Chains A and B, each alone.
Chain A
């Protein structure tokens, strides 16, 4: 990762940050960070943005995390769960990393969590949203700096009901993330007086939506709640509009429906989504982050860059507390649990299950942006069902 012409700004930022972190002056031995993220395949872009976010924070702090020099070990996980146990144990057993950072794909993350638990390794998860990771599989060694589907989708249920919607059809890919989103939406929507009249699923990653759109038109609900992402989301938004449904039955979803797929076309305009990040946040940290990121990588950051950045922040908080001595795992974990992060997303802390507690924003698509409408749920924590810790 080269950073042409950005080093001067970074040096200034680093100097500022160094003043805030007293431990930074007491350089300890190198901390070995294992990045296990997708660098090829469908999720390559997400993996790169997470890595960029992570490294931006490290660079801002003079190449250090909590006072320790950083040494990276990188594995491309290819978003392939079949290879995941191998890749994780390669980093833990061969490269002997102090902390494992990853990943995007939930199935791969589940395997990583399993390997990390078996080897008592510290794991920071900068994206994968499977509820189980901070639910039944929660562990003191596992931290997440992203989200659960519940946080955005449960919020959307309440928002939609408050907007006067009475009946909803849900439509998603029938895989874990989709099912979690729909269940959470249903819970929030029905508790607020709404009714889900039909829940439809399409096998992942198919994109033949037409027959479902026909079904939606026949059912005539007040609204549709959908979760798709990437290519599927783009096609869905286009098909939904082309079927003439958009003007008649408004479309809602968790933020990933409109994340990274907006090209300014008419099809997505006005779609409302909920997420822990948005464009146009009124927060100085975010503005500084965006400027620094743009300068360093010549690209706009997104929610994934933020999650990577926060993963580095969280790790720094832990390392600072033990002065880089990762063998003091207990103290390190306690410091991470107690961290209060100034994230580009706003204030962020961690729940008991080690999942972020942060604001969930209602956003609306305007042009190529997911413009913030309001804070739909302040400082929201995932219920972490099944977590005994």
Chain B
């Protein structure tokens, strides 16, 4: 079994099969599920960006929705009323500004202890929430509707037509694949190994001469940038943004996705996003009081299944073959 913080067991065929299934899904021609899966793939990117912090660097952020929201708002604020915005300029801007916001917050928060980190990230996220909710600049509590999807043209050639939900679907799928590939590559690089070292024992890394503050700040900034990418895609999909995108419930939910899938492997976080969406659908279909079910499930999960749902598989296998229990 994989140790926490180790790259996941290599199962390229499983990832390939999942990718293939997702690539073929639009053939089923089900507009509702096409849209739903687009959303979940975007959430998967968001969850993976948080996994970089939680599962790899060992920083538990409870304010990650802020950077998702900033990415979304950049597209909304840069979309003129009577014209489409340019995909090519707004996308880098969204990612860049989310990274900048994460960098500025990171300066304050990554140097403090983990307990502090949780509370401080939440408090700063709330500040961004108020920035969009209460100021002229953020256009207030009702959010912003975009009249046009961004245009992605090179010369006269329309590269992506975002008016077509399938295009958005494939762009989200492509982004998911790229981000997953990038993060897995990062994990194996010296930088990724240093981050895992920090998670395991920061004192030791420091005594080995690593400037852990800089590593953690870089990780926090990168996670913010990727969350911003997810936020941008979300705004692109729906053409609508609202301050609630930055609310702490979103931060809590994405943290749940990471935990559900098992932190530290990225694919786990992505699976967690799918699992969470499924769980929510099931609970919502079962009862109006689905928050009670969700809350109780979380409490029981923490009490009786430390390590998340992901550890269940290992426990199950251990029970079958009598191997070591996690």
State which of A82-90, A210-218, A235-243, A267-275 sits at the interface with chain B. Answer: A82-90
Judged by a CB distance under 8 angstroms, whether A4 is at the interface is no
Judged by a CB distance under 8 angstroms, whether B6 is at the interface is no
Q: How many residue-residue contacts, CB under 8 A, span A and B?
A: 81
How far apart sit A93 and B37, CA to CA, in the bound complex (Å)?
14
A174 touching B134 in the complex, CB below 8 Å, given contacts A76-B288, A111-B143: yes
Which B residues are CB-close (under 8 A) to A90? Answer: 32
Band of interface residues on B: 20 to 34
A107 touching B31 in the complex, CB below 8 Å, given contacts A113-B145, A203-B134: no
* Shortest CB distance B255–A (Å): 15
B140 touching A175, Cβ below 8 Å: yes
A111 touching B242, Cβ below 8 Å: yes
Which B residues are CB-close (under 8 A) to A130? Answer: 142
Judged by a CB distance under 8 angstroms, whether B302 is at the interface is no
Judged by a CB distance under 8 angstroms, whether B240 is at the interface is yes
Which A residues are CB-close (under 8 A) to B288? Answer: 39-40, 76
A81 touching B238, Cβ below 8 Å: no
Residues of A within 8 Å of B, CB-based: how many?
Answer: 33
B35 touching A89, Cβ below 8 Å: yes
How far apart sit A106 and B288, CA to CA, in the bound complex (Å)?
22
* Shortest CB distance B63–A (Å): 15
* Shortest CB distance A195–B (Å): 23
Judged by a CB distance under 8 angstroms, whether A302 is at the interface is no
How far apart sit A107 and B237, CA to CA, in the bound complex (Å)?
17
Judged by a CB distance under 8 angstroms, whether A208 is at the interface is no
A114 touching B145, Cβ below 8 Å: yes
Beta-carbon contacts under 8 Å, A179-200 to B: 179
Beta-carbon contacts under 8 Å, B139-193 to A: 140-143, 145
Apart from A107-B141, A107-B244, A175-B141: 11 A-B pairs, beta carbons within 8 A: A81-B143, A89-B35, A110-B142, A111-B240, A114-B238, A114-B239, A115-B238, A174-B140, A175-B134, A175-B140, A201-B134
Q: What is the interface of chain B, defined by CB distance below 8 A to chain A?
A: 31-32, 35-36, 39, 81, 130, 133-134, 140-143, 145, 237-240, 242-245, 247, 249-250, 284, 288-289, 291
21 interchain pairs, CB-CB under 8 A: A40-B288, A40-B291, A76-B284, A81-B143, A89-B35, A93-B32, A107-B143, A107-B243, A110-B145, A110-B240, A111-B240, A132-B145, A137-B145, A174-B134, A174-B140, A175-B134, A179-B140, A201-B134, A204-B133, A204-B134, A204-B141
Q: What is the interface of chain A, defined by CB distance below 8 A to chain B?
A: 39-40, 76, 80-82, 84-86, 89-90, 93-94, 106-107, 110-111, 113-115, 118, 130, 132, 136-137, 174-177, 179, 201, 203-204
